[in-house]
Structures are given as structure tokens and as C-alpha cells.
């Protein structure tokens, strides 16, 4: 056996796997091969998209299910034994795996991430699970038997086959390790849409099943969150032991409790329901969306945490809040694990997004005429109003109608049934926006009364529509206007358009709003979403605190379509909604009441003026994309493709050589797609149905393109195949017909001889024999491809 001729897979089967098994690893329970741990970034170009490459480990070894310990990178024997170590180390860093190995079948190179050492070992020296687990525990200070028992607590076994993603495993394992060493306050930061609740379930399950935590309190700030959690991710616990606290009525016979912060507290001390529990009743308190006030010392919510201070407390948030008076990190400590929006988009678990920025002619300011009286007889205060004032202090009908018109135009040009959230300044604004949208969509609103709804804390009818709005299978309602109620914690999986017509002065709120669209539903066609910004709120993308850039920012001119074109360009306070979910941050003790910041001199003057008859038009709009590598770009699609191709192939000669040398052209096309070069989007932009080879040579190197028909005709004229038998020549002619019809792809597929028109000439065996042996047929096809793409 010539070892150097073996494939990488042969090396795994014949050398690496036997060495791992001989070291004591259970092949069925502890060893996984070819593990794809990301889905591959979604690359958006125009209306088309592609998936980038998945990150894939050759081997991951687990001490116990979902507790990864080892990653192995395998290479063919003709490669050095340590080849691929740097890639494996990058994977290990993401997966938080402490031990890295590479092998070409001769030996292993062992990288100990806990000690920083690297050495070569023999195949028979591969370490056992016990040896590496003990080494890891010692490194983390987890050797004590009681601590070790906690760290090794088992995960829930899901009979449906669902298991935590790698970052969820990281979050669960780091949390369990922290608890095992006595840490009482723990913070987990995970981007919206990455499964915080499912992660919390796995943490609680391990602690509850192991008997370490027997009574658990799950705190949230929205009823819908409690219902979602109990009936969804937490359902394996069974309804018999779970209970949602309502109307401040306490029943102490359950083990897992769900409650609203405001459902446990009251301004009336005698109605503080949480005090009906003893201080040590709960072993574990989990605080969902903990940025919404729980870290503020003055918050009423904080009273609950202080009362149950003997319990371990875990805070979950996508956006930890850090201000002068409110600090999650001060209360919980630094996060034990963080998974950001940027990483979620990079891994392909979250949807990327485009941004449409809309500027109106009154954005920079509008001043009323002297003595102007509003619609309700109020004298409008004489000053300059701007974006911070609109719909908070001054409502202009024409501006509201223009926003509604632009939203409607976008949906008409894309899909009028795409779920849409319009974030407004306050409840009054949300109501007026609903009316303007109904008038702009009168045809659908007449046919479907719930096509557009207002979902705010004061509107019981609207709140009843929330479940339908979130339901993936429900078409209606399509458009929801809101102010604060939908900013956080609501699982709006199918939202494809988010409209910002409110001032956002908080990075926390901005990230939460972006999170309403970040959930990915590829089977249902939700692969990216669009943010339409009327308030310059997306300037927050430039803030260093923001960690996930858009794929496109678009600012159309007055006469331009609201829908982003298939090109790529580079590129404060809102009234709180009353009712459920409003954030409460009281001033710290000793500071006294907040100052009166009303800008109106007359205390009896109205808070908001309502005017019409104002000329408002679109001044400018712009779109910006993210490239395949996550960078903002300004080029057109052609310019972007030219740059991407030339980065890899500086000259046409380089590209042509790689094209002709490629074993399969499809692999090279896939590699280009991974770099953001999408052939179909480019073909649509160029407007010609060209072969990928001609498309790239034309766009990147300014070479005149040939059609597939012209290329096939040139081959026929050359008569190079006269050396073959008559049957072989017929096969080549039919292959040229196939190329002319569908491109080079079918020629590279072994099944091409089984389909028309090739199968009309004879069986696959007969057709191959016309060239000699199978290798002769493969060589003939390769030669045909060379003739097709001949350039000289």
C-alpha cells in the first residue's frame, strides 16, 4: 500500500480513527466526524443570495454529550503532519475546545491550548478521555470531586434529534462551570435570535435534574415571553411542575415558576407578592432580558433580586446595559460568555440586512408661520422643529402620510405580505401611522380588516393579534405599528421589513430593534431583512458599540424607487409606551425627582401640536451592502466582482489557468461564491446568459464575451475529435449540445451519459467503451473542456 496515494478520508478510516479508539474513546458516543458547526454566512446580492462555506471539523471528540474536548484536523499523507494546525486552532477558539490535534496518518501534532505547548506524538500515544478531561479540570480549577460532579451533569436528551449549537454549548458549559465554583451572579450575552431561552432551559435542566437547584424562578417583563417559554423550550419539564404566577396569587407547590417583574412588585408594600415566598425559597433565579431595569439599583425589579439574594442569579440579555446609573456588569460581573450579532451573521445563524435611509425635506428643520393654529385650535409655539420633535411635540400629517406611502411603495415592489413592524414615537403616533397605512393600502385593508394593526400596551385588541403576527404560518396581520411593545423579547420570526420612525438614543434599544428581524427562516424564504430609516437612527451603525454591519444602505433620490437596486455602496429619546413592557429606571437615591425639561414656557400649553398643509417630499435615499467578507462596500456589482476576482487572480492568464486546471469548474464557481461573487446576480446585472467563464473574463478583465453557442461552434469547426471512432464523435457532439444548452456543469456529472440526448446513443458502458477505458473517457471530457475554453 502506497500511503501517499491515499485520500484524506482513507487516512481517517485506516489510521486516525483506529488510534483514537485504541486510546479509549467510544466511537459511537464520544467521536463525531466531519462536523459542520456553522451554517455558512448568507451573502446577499440584489434579490439573490448564496451561502458561504460552512466551518467543518474533521473530528470533534466529546468527554460527554455536548461537552467537547478535542478537535482533530486530518490531512492526506503527502501533506506535513502539522498541516492545518492554524485552522484547527481557530476552530478550537470558537468552539472553546482545549486540545487540538493534526495528523496525516504518520503521527499527531498535539497542541495543548491549556499550557500553550505543541509537540509531535506517535499514533499509539493519543491520550485517553480521562487523561485529557483531568488535564482540563486542573487547568480550570475544577478538580474537586464535588465541583466535578456539577460540571459533568448531563444535558437533556432530545428524542427529536435537536441539540444545542456550538455557541449554546459554550454558554451552557461556561455557566455550569461558574456555578460549580460558587459564582452566584452570572451574565450571558447572546444576540437576539440565537436561542437564549433554549440555552437557559439546558442550564436549568442540568442543575434541576442533578438535584443541585430544586426551585427555580424565571423572570421576564412580558406575558408573551412567559407563555412562549413555558409551552416552548421548557415543555420537557412537564406542566405538572411549572406554574405562571398571575394576579399576584402565590402557590408554593410547584418547582419552576414564571413571573413578570411587575407581577411580583407593587407600589403598595403590602401587595409585594414576592414576599409571600421565604427569602431562601428559590435556589436559582433566571432573569430574561435583564437589561430592562434589573441592574438598576433604584428599579423596583431589583427589589426581587435583592430579596432572593441567596439564590444563584443568571442574567440573559442581547444588550447589556452600561450607563452612569445602570450597570449589568456591575451587578452580575463580566459575561461568562458572549455571542454577538456580528458572529451570528458570520456563522449564518442570523439574517443579514439591508438599510434604506430616507431623508425628507423637513428633516433639518421646519418653522411654523407666525400665529399658526393647529387642527385643534392650539397656537403652535414659534420655534424650529426637527426630527427630535416630529410626532413627539409636533405631528405633521403630510410627513406621516409620506412615510406610509414609502412603506407601501416598498412592499408593492417586493411583497405586500411581508411581515412589517413600524416603530413609532408613542402610542398616538402608532395610531396615526396605522390610519395612514390603511389609507395607503385601502384595497387590502378592505379585504382583510386585520392587514394592518396597532400593537401597543394600551390596546387589548392589538395585543390579541400579537400571537398571529408572530406565527410563521399566519398571513395576517401583515403590518404592525407600535412604539415600545415590540422592541424586545418578542419572537417575530418572519419580519422582513423594520421601519424606524422614532428617535433612538440608546444603543441597547437600537440593537433590540434590529433583533426583531434577525431571525432566519430559510425554508420559508426569510434570508435577510430590510431596515427603512426615517430618523437617521442607523447612524448608530458607526458607533464602536455596534457589532453587526448591514449588507446594504440605500438612500434613494426623490424620483428613485424605494427598493434597493442591485448595486453595492459603502458606506433620542422617544416617548415611552405606557403599559406592559415599559422600562423603569428610577433616579438613584438622594438625587431627588428628575428635572422638568419641558421646553414650552406655558405649563398649560399642549404637549403636542397637530398640523397639516405642510409640503414634505423625499430629499434623498441610499442603500449599503455588506460584502461576502463582512465589509461595507461602495462599488456597483460589476466593480465589486472585478475587485474580488482580481484579488485572487490578478491577470486573466491567472484566472484562465486556474479555470482550466480545476478538476471541477463547479468547485471554482463555489469558491468564488464564498468570496461574494454570485454568478446568477452578475448574469442578471450584465443582462446576458453567458457562461461563468465568459462572464468573469468580461467583467473582471474587459474581454469580449462569447456565447455558449459560439464556443460550441468553434469546437465543431476545429474538428479536433476526428481522431475518435464514429460513436465517440457522436458522444462529443451530444456533449457539445448539452454544454450549449446548460453550460459545463452537466459535462462534469457522471450521470450525463444516462440522460437525453446521450442515452439515445447507447448505454453508459457502451459509450465509455467507445473511448477505451473509463479513464480515457474522463480524459476525453477534460480535453473537450479545454477546447471549449480555448482562448488562443
pLDDT in tens, 455-490: 988 888 888 898 899 888 999 999 999 987 776 557
pLDDT category of residue 604 using cuts at 50, 70 and 90: low
For residues 557 and 660, the model is more confident at 660
Q: Which range, of 89-103, 155-169, 279-293, 423-437, averages the lowest pLDDT?
A: 279-293
C-alpha cell at 198: 433554549
| pLDDT of 585 | 34
Radius of gyration from C-alpha coordinates of the chain: 31
Q: Give the confidence band of 544 by pLDDT, cuts at 50, 70, 90.
A: low
Cβ atoms of residues 277 and 264 within 8 Å: no
- At residue 460, the pLDDT reads 85
Q: Is 500 helix (H, G, I), strand (E, B) or coil?
A: strand
E-strand ranges in 551-592 read 552-555
Q: Which of 403, 365, 361, 407 is nearest to 387 (CA)?
A: 365
Distance separating alpha carbons of residues 191 and 158, to the nearest angstrom: 24
Find out whether 379 and 371 touch, Cβ atoms under 8 Å: yes
Query: Does the pLDDT of residue 327 top 70, yes or no?
Result: no
Cell 489510521, located at residue: 15
**Residue 350: strand pairing partners:** 519
pLDDT band at 559 (very low <50, low <70, confident <90, very high): low
Among 105-114, 291-300, 676-685, which is the least confidently predicted range? 291-300
Higher-pLDDT residue of 749 and 715 is: 715
SS (H, E, C) 310-377: CCEEEEEECCCCECCCEEHHHHHCCCCEEECHHHHHHHCCECCEEEEECEECCCCCECCCCCCECCCC
517 contacts 550 by C-beta, under 8 angstroms? no
The whole-angstrom separation of Cα 500 and Cα 482 is 10
Q: Tell me whether domains 150-339 and 353-588+605-620 share a fold.
A: yes
What residue spans define the domains of the chain? Answer: 3-140, 150-339, 353-588+605-620, 637-705, 709-788
Pick from 83, 98, 142, 105: nearest CA to 20: 105
Exposed, middle or buried by CB within 10 Å (0-12, 13-18, 19+), for 163?
A: middle
Q: Which is more confident, 350 or 586?
A: 350
Q: Residue 627's closest CA among 686, 681, 685, 684?
A: 681
Give the tens place of pLDDT for each residue, 14-48: 999 999 999 999 999 999 999 999 999 998 876 77
CA distance 511 to 321: 11
DSSP character string of 85-150: HHHHHHHHHHHT-SEEEEESSSEEEEEETTTTEEEEEEGGGPPPHHHHHHHHHHHHT--SHHHHHH
Tell me what the mean pLDDT of segment 319-336 comes to: 72
Query: Per mean pLDDT, which of 48-52, 495-499, 617-621 is the most reliable?
Result: 495-499
Number of continuous H segments (helices) and E segments (strands) in the chain: 27, 26
Q: Determine the pLDDT at residue 226.
A: 86
Q: How far apart are CA 591 and CA 416, in angstroms?
A: 50
The pLDDT value recorded for residue 323 is 55
pLDDT of res. 555:
65
Give CA–CA dist 724/780, Å, rounded.
10
pLDDT confidence of 313, banded at 50, 70, 90? Answer: very high
Q: Which residue has the higher pLDDT, 564 or 156?
A: 156
* 601 band by pLDDT with thresholds 50, 70 and 90: very low
Specify the pLDDT at position 552. Answer: 53
Are 788 and 735 in contact by the 8 Å Cβ rule? The answer is no
Nearest to 59 by CA among 23, 40, 45, 43: 23
CA within 13 Å, CB half, 351: 27
Distance CA 745, CA 738 (A): 9
User: Residue for cell digits 408554593?
Assistant: 252
**pLDDT score recorded for residue 569:** 33
Q: Predicted confidence band at 321 (pLDDT cuts at 50, 70, 90)?
A: low
Enumerate residues 6+ apart whose C-beta is below 8 A from 336.
171, 174, 175, 177, 178, 183, 186, 187, 188
Confidence check: pLDDT of 697 > 50: yes
Pairing of strands 312-317, 284-287: parallel
Stated as kind and residue range, the H or E segment containing 214 is none
Instruction: Look at domain 3-140 and name its CATH class.
Output: alpha beta
In terms of phi and psi (left: phi > 0; alpha: psi -120 to 50; beta: otherwise), the region of 581 is: left
Looking at residue 301, what is its pLDDT? Answer: 67
**Kind plus residue range of the DSSP H or E element containing 439:** helix 427-440
Residue 446 CA neighbour count, 13 Å, CB half = 5
pTM of the predicted structure, to 2 decimals: 0.78
Residue 403 · residue 436 · CB < 8 Å: yes
Give the whole-angstrom CA distance, residue 749 versus residue 707: 22
| pLDDT for 545 | 67
Band the pLDDT of 128: cuts 50, 70, 90. Answer: very high
> All 3 cell numbers of residue 9?
478520508
CA distance 621 to 600: 33
Coil/strand/helix, residue 497: strand
Report which DSSP code applies to 14: I
Residue 126 confidence class, pLDDT cut points 50, 70, 90:
very high
**How do residues 630-656 score in pLDDT, each as one tens digit?**
554 545 678 878 888 998 899 999 999
Going by pLDDT thresholds of 50, 70 and 90, the confidence category of residue 595 is very low
Looking up cell 436549568, which residue turns up?
Answer: 204
Nearest to 349 by CA among 742, 678, 37: 37
Please state which CATH class domain 353-588+605-620 belongs to. alpha beta
Residue 576 has pLDDT above 50, yes or no: no
| C-alpha span between 328 and 515 (Å, rounded) | 19
The CATH code of domain 150-339 reads 3.40.50.300
Cβ of 140: how many Cβ atoms within 10 Å?
Answer: 15
CB 621 within 8 A of CB 354: no
Amino acid at each position: 500500500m502506497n500511503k501517499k496515494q491515499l485520500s484524506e478520508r482513507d487516512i481517517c478510516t485506516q489510521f486516525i480513527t483506529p488510534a483514537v479508539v485504541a486510546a479509549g474513546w467510544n466511537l459511537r458516543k464520544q467521536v463525531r466526524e466531519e462536523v459542520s458547526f456553522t451554517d455558512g454566512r448568507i451573502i446577499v446580492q440584489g434579490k439573490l443570495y448564496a451561502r458561504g462555506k460552512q466551518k467543518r471539523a474533521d473530528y470533534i471528540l466529546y468527554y460527554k454529550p455536548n461537552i467537547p474536548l478535542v478537535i482533530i484536523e486530518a490531512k492526506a499523507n503527502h501533506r506535513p503532519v502539522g498541516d492545518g494546525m492554524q485552522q484547527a486552532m481557530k476552530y478550537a477558539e470558537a468552539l472553546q475546545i482545549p486540545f487540538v490535534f493534526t495528523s496525516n496518518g504518520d503521527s499527531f501534532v498535539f497542541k495543548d491550548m491549556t499550557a500553550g505547548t505543541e509537540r509531535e506524538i506517535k499514533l499509539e500515544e493519543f491520550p485517553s478521555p480521562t487523561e485529557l478531561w483531568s488535564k482540563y479540570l486542573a487547568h480550570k480549577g475544577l478538580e474537586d470531586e464535588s465541583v466535578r460532579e456539577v460540571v459533568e451533569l448531563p444535558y437533556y436528551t432530545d428524542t427529536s434529534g435537536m441539540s444545542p449549537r456550538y455557541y449554546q454549548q459554550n454558554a451552557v458549559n461556561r455557566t455550569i462551570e461558574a456555578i460549580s465554583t460558587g459564582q452566584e451572579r452570572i451574565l450571558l450575552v447572546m444576540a437576539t435570535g440565537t436561542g437564549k431561552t433554549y440555552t437557559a432551559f439546558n442550564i436549568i435542566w442540568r442543575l434541576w435534574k442533578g438535584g443541585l437547584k430544586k426551585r427555580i424562578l424565571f423572570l421576564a417583563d412580558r406575558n408573551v415571553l412567559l407563555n412562549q417559554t413555558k409551552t416552548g423550550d421548557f415543555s420537557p419539564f412537564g406542566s405538572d411542575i411549572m406554574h405562571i404566577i398571575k394576579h399576584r396569587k402565590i402557590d408554593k407547590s410547584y418547582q419552576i415558576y414564571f413571573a413578570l417583574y411587575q407581577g411580583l412588585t407593587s407600589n403598595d408594600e403590602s401587595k409585594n407578592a414576592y414576599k409571600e415566598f421565604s427569602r431562601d425559597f428559590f435556589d436559582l433565579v433566571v432573569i430574561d432580558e435583564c437589561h430592562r431595569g434589573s441592574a438598576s439599583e433604584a428599579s423596583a425589579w431589583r427589589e426581587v433580586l435583592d430579596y432572593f439574594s441567596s439564590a444563584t442569579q443568571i442574567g440573559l440579555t442581547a444588550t447589556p446595559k452600561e450607563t452612569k446609573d445602570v450597570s449589568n456588569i456591575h451587578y452580575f460581573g463580566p459575561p461568562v460568555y458572549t455571542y454577538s450579532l456580528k458572529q451570528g451573521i458570520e456563522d449564518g445563524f442570523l439574517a443579514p440586512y439591508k438599510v434604506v435611509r430616507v431623508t425628507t425635506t423637513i428633516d433639518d428643520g421646519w418653522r411654523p408661520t407666525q400665529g399658526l393654529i393647529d387642527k385643534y385650535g392650539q397656537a403652535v409655539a414659534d420655534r424650529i422643529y426637527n426630527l427630535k420633535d416630529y410626532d413627539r411635540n409636533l405631528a405633521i400629517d403630510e410627513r406621516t402620510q409620506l412615510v406610509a406611502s414609502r412603506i407601501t411603495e416598498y412592499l408593492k415592489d417586493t411583497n405586500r405580505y411581508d411581515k412589517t413592524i413600524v416603530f413609532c414615537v408613542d402610542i398616538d403616533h402608532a395610531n396615526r401611522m396605522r390610519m395612514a397605512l390603511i389609507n395607503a393600502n385601502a384595497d387590502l385593508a378592505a379585504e382583510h380588516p386585520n392587514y394592518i394593526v396597532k400593537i401597543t400596551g394600551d390596546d387589548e385588541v392589538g395585543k390579541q393579534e400579537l400571537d398571529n403576527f408572530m406565527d410563521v404560518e399566519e398571513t395576517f396581520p401583515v403590518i404592525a405599528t407600535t412604539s415600545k411593545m415590540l422592541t424586545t423579547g418578542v419572537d417575530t420570526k418572519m419580519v422582513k421589513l423594520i421601519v424606524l420612525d422614532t428617535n433612538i438614543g440608546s444603543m441597547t434599544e437600537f440593537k433590540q430593534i434590529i433583533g426583531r428581524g434577525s431571525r432566519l427562516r430559510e425554508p420559508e424564504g426569510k434570508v435577510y431583512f430590510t431596515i427603512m430609516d426615517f430618523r437617521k437612527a442607523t447612524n448608530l451603525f458607526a458607533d464602536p458599540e455596534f457589532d453587526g454591519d448591514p449588507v446594504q444602505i440605500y438612500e434613494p433620490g426623490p424620483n428613485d424607487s424605494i427598493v434597493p437596486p442591485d448595486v453595492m455602496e459603502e458606506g433620542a429619546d422617544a416617548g415611552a409606551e405606557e403599559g406592559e413592557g415599559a422600562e423603569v429606571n428610577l433616579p438613584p437615591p438622594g438625587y431627588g425627582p428628575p428635572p422638568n425639561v419641558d421646553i414650552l414656557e406655558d405649563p398649560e400649553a399642549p404637549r403636542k401640536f397637530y398640523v397639516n398643509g405642510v409640503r414634505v417630499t423625499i430629499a434623498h435615499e441610499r442603500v449599503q451592502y455588506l460584502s461576502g467578507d463582512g465589509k461595507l462596500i461602495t462599488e456597483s456589482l460589476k466593480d465589486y466582482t472585478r475587485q474580488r476576482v482580481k484579488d485572487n487572480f490578478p491577470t486573466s492568464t491567472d484566472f484562465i489557468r486556474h479555470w482550466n486546471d480545476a478538476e471541477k469548474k463547479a468547485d471554482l464557481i463555489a469558491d468564488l461564491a464564498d468570496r461574494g461573487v454570485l454568478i446568477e446576480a452578475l448574469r442578471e446585472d450584465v443582462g446576458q446568459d453567458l457562461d461563468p467563464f465568459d462572464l468573469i473574463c468580461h467583467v473582471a478583465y474587459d474581454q469580449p464575451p462569447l456565447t455558449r453557442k459560439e464556443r460550441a461552434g468553434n469546437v465543431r469547426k476545429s474538428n479536433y475529435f476526428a481522431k475518435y471512432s464514429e460513436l465517440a464523435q457522436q458522444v462529443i457532439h451530444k456533449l457539445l449540445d448539452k454544454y450549449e444548452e446548460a453550460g459545463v456543469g452537466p459535462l462534469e456529472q457522471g450521470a450525463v451519459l444516462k440522460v437525453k440526448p446521450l442515452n439515445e446513443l447507447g448505454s453508459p458502458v457502451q459509450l465509455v467503451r467507445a473511448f477505451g477505458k473509463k479513464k480515457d473517457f474522463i480524459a476525453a471530457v477534460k480535453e473537450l473542456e479545454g477546447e471549449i475554453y480555448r482562448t488562443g
